[in-house]
């Protein structure tokens, strides 16, 4: 994507969010869209790790839930301002993830997924059992003060404004990530993803960039967690449970990771479909199981990959054999 197109699509997306927020009158629809957008940011974080690092995290709910808890706990102590609490949650978790990342990214394949699963479950069990600090299994409410970044909290949590906020955050994160990943950092991480050994041979430090990427994905997820706690005013241990991490991974795969916005798109589709199904059928779990299997089997690149391919077919004549495919086949076999 060229600079002009990137800027143009970002601006268009921002305008779309503002227009949608003011055009939609139903608070119910707006609140659904807000939840979908927050999940989309969460999925963006998980998808970033998969797309750029090839690593499957089964424990990203750790960063989503903990971000909410950090804000909630810091606010109950009343010693720090709310802005500082939010910054501490996001930056603190990123730093934590970077240090954890230096260790866990060395663990390859399935073992990485299981290790992240273990880390997530430890956080879940700790939060659901330590009654004093986190309210145990009941969760705790987040006591937002009356003003937030100089604005009235009551105004921010209005359905239209919180949707605009979440949407703007999503669009800006997509823009930022697109810019960062186009540069040297993006190329380095892709090189490591495709062949860690070769990347090391040409003199690239292969641990630090992966840990940094792990931290970036944690930061995006933590932002989603803070937004969720602002939206609901509540955090519970369920936001740390591995089934949430698994669900998000499903959304990522349904959306596809070929393009950056794929996971976010998958989350939105997933959430809205679940809501529509939830009203009509009790069997949403089976419906999702079947939908997931169908998408994984018949559309390996996910919905966004499907859209991307259809779009490309219409405007670009496809070469007979793509060089990229040849390279991938060779490197996979070799």
Shortest distance in whole angstroms from residue 58 CB to another protein: 9
The answer to whether the beta carbons of residues 21 and 160 sit under 8 Å apart is: yes
DSSP string, 183-227: SHHHHHHHHHHH-HHHHHHTT--SSHHHHHHHHHHHHHHHHHHHH
Shortest distance in whole angstroms from residue 186 CB to another protein: 21
The answer to whether the beta carbons of residues 267 and 40 sit under 8 Å apart is: yes
The verdict on 122 binding another protein (CB under 8 A) reads yes
Residue with Cβ nearer another protein (226 or 253) = 253
Residue with Cβ nearer another protein (20 or 107) = 107
Shortest distance in whole angstroms from residue 108 CB to another protein: 5
Q: Which of 71, 33, 268, 221 is nearest to 153 (CA)?
A: 71
Query: Token digits for 221?
Result: 């997820």
The verdict on 109 binding another protein (CB under 8 A) reads yes
Total number of residues that touch another protein (CB under 8 A): 40
The verdict on 118 binding another protein (CB under 8 A) reads yes
The verdict on 278 binding another protein (CB under 8 A) reads no
Query: Token digits for 217?
Result: 């994905």
Residue with Cβ nearer another protein (17 or 302) = 302
The residue with tokens 């690593």 is 55
DSSP string, 35-54: HHHHHHHHHHHHHHHHHHH-
Shortest distance in whole angstroms from residue 204 CB to another protein: 21
- Per-residue contact track with another protein, 237 to 256, x per CB under 8 A? -----xx--x--xx--x---
Find how far residue 277's CA is from the centre of its chain: 23
The verdict on 111 binding another protein (CB under 8 A) reads yes
**Hey, how many other C-beta atoms are within 10 angstroms of the C-beta on 75?**
21
The verdict on 305 binding another protein (CB under 8 A) reads no
Residue with Cβ nearer another protein (117 or 220) = 117
Shortest distance in whole angstroms from residue 312 CB to another protein: 22
Stretch that binds another protein, among 109-117, 167-175, 207-215, 258-266 (CB under 8 A): 109-117
With DSSP H G I counted as helix, E B as strand and the rest as coil, what are the percentages for the chain, rounded to 5? 80, 0, 20
Q: How many helices (H) and strands (E) in the chain?
A: 16, 4
CA dist 202 to 143, 192, 196, 197, 329, Å?
A: 52, 11, 10, 9, 22
Shortest distance in whole angstroms from residue 106 CB to another protein: 7
Residues forming contacts to another protein in the complex (CB under 8 A) are 50, 56, 103-104, 106-111, 113-115, 117-119, 121-122, 125-126, 129, 242-243, 246, 249-250, 253, 282-283, 285-286, 288-293, 296-297, 300
């Amino acid at each position: 994507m060229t600079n002009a197109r990137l800027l143009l699509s970002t601006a268009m997306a921002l305008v779309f969010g503002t227009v949608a927020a003011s055009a939609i009158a139903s608070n119910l629809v707006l609140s659904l869209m807000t939840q979908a957008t927050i999940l989309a940011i969460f999925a963006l974080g998980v998808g970033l790790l998969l797309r750029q690092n090839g690593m499957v995290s089964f424990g990203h709910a750790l960063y989503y839930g903990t971000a909410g808890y950090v804000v909630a706990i810091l606010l109950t102590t009343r010693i720090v301002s709310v802005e500082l609490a939010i910054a501490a949650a996001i930056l603190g978790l990123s730093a934590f993830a970077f240090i954890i990342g230096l260790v866990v990214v060395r663990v390859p394949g399935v073992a990485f997924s299981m290790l992240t699963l273990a880390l997530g479950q430890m956080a879940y069990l700790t939060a659901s059992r330590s009654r004093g600090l986190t309210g145990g299994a009941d969760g705790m409410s987040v006591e937002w003060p009356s003003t937030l970044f100089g604005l009235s909290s009551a105004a921010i949590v209005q359905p239209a404004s919180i949707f605009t906020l979440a949407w703007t955050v999503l669009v800006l994160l997509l823009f930022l990530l697109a810019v960062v990943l186009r540069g040297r950092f993006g190329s380095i991480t892709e090189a490591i993803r495709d062949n860690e050994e070769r990347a090391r041979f040409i003199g690239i430090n292969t641990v630090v960039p992966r840990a940094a990427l792990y931290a970036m994905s944690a930061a995006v997820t933590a932002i989603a967690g803070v937004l969720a706690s602002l939206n609901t005013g509540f955090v519970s241990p369920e936001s740390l449970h591995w089934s949430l991490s698994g669900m998000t991974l499903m959304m990522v795969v349904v959306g596809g990771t070929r393009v950056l916005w794929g996971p976010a798109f998958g989350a939105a589709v997933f959430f809205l479909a679940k809501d529509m199904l939830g009203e009509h059928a009790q069997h949403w779990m089976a419906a999702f199981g079947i939908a997931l299997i169908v998408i994984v089997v018949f559309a390996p690149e996910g919905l966004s990959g499907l859209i991307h391919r259809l779009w490309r077919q219409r405007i670009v004549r496809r070469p007979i054999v793509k060089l990229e495919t040849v390279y991938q086949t060779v490197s996979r076999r070799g």
